[in-house]
Amino acid sequence: MIFFTSLAVPYANKIVNMHSYKTKASLLVTMFLCAATLSFSQVGINTTEPRKTLEVGGDMLISGDLDIGVINLLNDEDQATFIIQNIENQIKALDVSNPTGAALGYIQEYIITNARLDWVLNFNTQINAANFDLISISAYYDKELVLSSAPENFSLPYTAAFISNGTWRIIADFPSAANRDTNAIGTWTITTLIFSKDLSKQLGVIEIPMGNQTTGSAINPIID
Amino acid sequence: MLYKTTLFFLILLFSNSAWNQVGIGTQNPQADLHVAGEMLVQENFEIQPLPSVSLVDEDFKFLTRVYNSSPAGEITVLNVDSLTVAPINVIDYRFTNISLDNLRDVNLQYDANKYVVGVANFRYVGDAIKKIPVGNTTSIGTFVLRTFISNGQWHLEIRNRDLNLNVGDSLEYFITLIVYDKSYYRNLPPITTNLGGSNSGTASSVPDIY
């Protein structure tokens, strides 16, 4: 085992600065040749002034595990983003401030004008359902509605996202109701939340026959 | 001469030799490279595929990278209990003593530069807004529930724009606001599509997502 207190390697594979060894050189060479372990107190690689115990002035590759003993908590005043590992094994940051960088999720507003009165049956967002989950979180329609077939009818509006032919679609309607002014061009404003499937799971449809009862139970919880 | 020889050997060793274990800041390395202290990597960082989080790792924490640390890039752990604002914040609101059914403009005061505010879990509790006769049918008006940005802050509108609750009747609104931190979530520009009078069609563009 050999111990140095400081080592700096400003150019790859070339030693320029080495302090604090007092062993005779020949003995040192022998020790080096026999050594199985080596230790330093501070090391710079491609830098002569390491700011940390180890500073690598370039890239780093770890072929084994990485354990970090101390990781500080993120504080309120910190500006931070998540880190991920990509398919090439590189560690990268999710840089949301970069408009072409990935985010943890996306909020996308769809403004759909001039549908068939208030009725949007199948609006194709073209977002690939294999890679993303899309959820409608809120929606509103901006034109006055009248009940179309019978004045005593009731209308419960809905907006929902569904998958057809591999892409996410949106359906939105006030059933049994339509624009009071049939010449008015109405607008649906639908806010959606889009998650990458790297982060979320789409668990499909659970059918629950209620057997003409008002209370019931799901067969199994999907997530336990 | 001896010095030169030593240097030559050292260069040779550092060029071609590999140690089983190296300790920095420790004389007793516990791994192939053991840094007993802090480490800074200026450029790319690559590691073998990290093992997946499994069911037994229930209490895992997300790792974050701080870009206003000195030097930038400190790896930190995200513990929502130690933060005032988490990546996703869920807040319930209840509105009482409303003027008829009309929340025309409530300033929620969330900074639009920092947050995206969505609304969910809407509940309407109270008296019904009455339909009004229009020709041989009835109008249900225009009921709107939305969050919107005004003067750099998020605002809320919940009301029937055309109809009003009868005077003397009352209602309450319950909503859940979902406040997304824009450090992690992106508010994309709206996509406007004209369906040309049809009930089906395709979005005018596809958002730039990954």
Q: How far is B171 from chain A (nearest CA, A)?
A: 18
Residue B65 lies in a domain: yes
| Predicted confidence (pLDDT) per residue in A173-207, tens digit | 999 999 999 999 999 999 999 998 887 887 878 88
Residue A98 has a pLDDT of 78
Q: What residues are paired with A140 via a beta bridge?
A: A189
Query: Which of A71, A101, A174 is nearest residue B77 as measured by Cβ atoms?
Result: A71
**Domain assignment present for B200:** no
Dihedral in degrees, nearest 10, Cα atoms B84, B87, B92, B97: 80
* Residue B104 belongs to some domain of the structure: yes
A75/B83 CB distance under 8 A: yes
Quote the domain boundaries for residue B147.
Answer: 88-181
Asked if A171 and A110 touch (Cβ cutoff 8 Å), the reply is no
Is B189 contained in some domain? no
How many residue contacts between A and B have a Cβ separation below 8 Å?
353
- Alpha helix locations (H) across chain B? 2-16
pLDDT winner (highest mean) among A3-12, A89-98, A172-181, A193-202: A172-181
pTM of the predicted protein model: 0.78
Query: Which residue of chain A has the CA closest to B193?
Result: A112
Is the residue at B119 inside a domain? yes
Interface residue A32 vs chain B (CB under 8 A): yes
Q: Are residues B119 and B67 in the same domain?
A: no
Residues B95 and B152 in one domain: yes
Contact A96, B67 (CB under 8 A): no
Q: Hey, what are B109's tokens?
A: 């005061």
pLDDT, residue A3, reads: 61
User: The tokens of B120 are what?
Assistant: 């969910």
Residue B151: which residues within 8 A CB-CB, separation 6 or more? none
Q: Residues B94, B162: one domain?
A: yes
Query: Mean pLDDT across the stretch A71-75?
Result: 91
State which residue of chain A sits closest to B208, comparing Cα positions. Answer: A100
* B111 and B74 both lie in a single domain: no
> Do residues B38 and B110 share a domain?
no
Query: Are B75 and B96 members of one domain?
Result: no
Q: How many domains does chain B have?
A: 2
Which tokens go with B191?
């996509």
**pLDDT at residue B183 in the model:** 86
Given CB atoms, is B139 within the 8 Å cutoff of chain A?
A: yes
- Specify whether B156 is located in the same domain as B110: yes
Confidence tier at B200 by pLDDT (50, 70, 90): very high
Q: Are residues B77 and B150 in the same domain?
A: no
Judge contact between B158 and B98, C-beta under 8 A.
Answer: no
Q: Is B121 on the interface with A (CB under 8 A)?
A: no
Residue B6 pLDDT > 80: no
How far does B95 lie from chain A, in Å, by closest CA? 18
In tens, the pLDDT along A29-69 reads: 555 555 667 778 889 999 999 999 999 999 999 998 899 99
Cα B134 from Cα A180, distance rounded (Å): 8
Q: Which residues make Cβ contacts (< 8 Å) with residue A108, sequence separation at least 6?
A: A191, A192, A193, A194, B188, B190, B191, B207
Same-domain check for residues B77 and B116:
no
Taking only the tens place, the pLDDT of each residue in B79-106 is 888 888 888 999 999 999 999 999 999 9
pLDDT confidence of residue B197: 95
Those residues with Cβ within 8 angstroms of residue A186's Cβ, 6 or more apart along the chain or in another chain: A113, A114, A115, A117, A118, A141, A142, A143, A179
* In chain A, alpha helices (H): 25-34
Give chain A's end-to-end CA distance (angstroms, integer): 51
Query: For residue B150, what are the contacts with CB-CB under 8 A and spacing of at least 6?
Result: B105, B107
Sort out which chain B residues have CB atoms less than 8 A from A89's CB and list them.
46-49
Q: Which amino acid is at A95?
A: D
Q: Are residues B76 and B113 in the same domain?
A: no
Structure tokens, A70: 């101390």
User: Which whole-number Å values give the CA distances from B115 to A11, A157, B17, B86, B88, in the listed order?
Assistant: 45, 28, 53, 11, 10
- Claim to verify: residue B130 and residue B176 sit in the same structural domain: yes
Residue B2 lies in a domain: no
pLDDT of A209 reads 87
Same domain, B27 and B74: yes
Residue B58 with chain A: CB contacts under 8 Å = none
Q: Which of B24, B122, B201 sits opposite A39 (nearest CB)?
A: B24
Nearest to B119 by CA among B164, B162, B165, B180: B180
Residue B10 lies in a domain: no
Chain A nearest-CA residue for B144: A140
Write down the pLDDT at residue A17.
41
Question: Under an 8 A CB cutoff, do B142 and A145 touch?
Answer: yes
Q: Per-residue pLDDT averaged across A117-121, rounded?
A: 96
Range A87-106 average pLDDT: 84
Asked if the model's pLDDT at residue B17 lies above 90, the reply is no
State the pLDDT at residue A12: 43
Q: How far apart are CA A56 and CA A47, in angstroms?
A: 7
Rounded mean pLDDT, A96-125: 91
Round to whole Å and give the CA distance between A220 and A222.
6
- What are the chain B neighbours of A177 within 8 Å (beta carbons)? 140
Average pLDDT over residues B15-35: 82
Between chains, do A100 and B32 touch, taking CB under 8 Å as contact?
Answer: no
SS3 state at B85: coil
Asked if residue B15 is part of any domain, the answer here is no
- The closest CB to that of A76, out of B26, B39, B84, belongs to B84
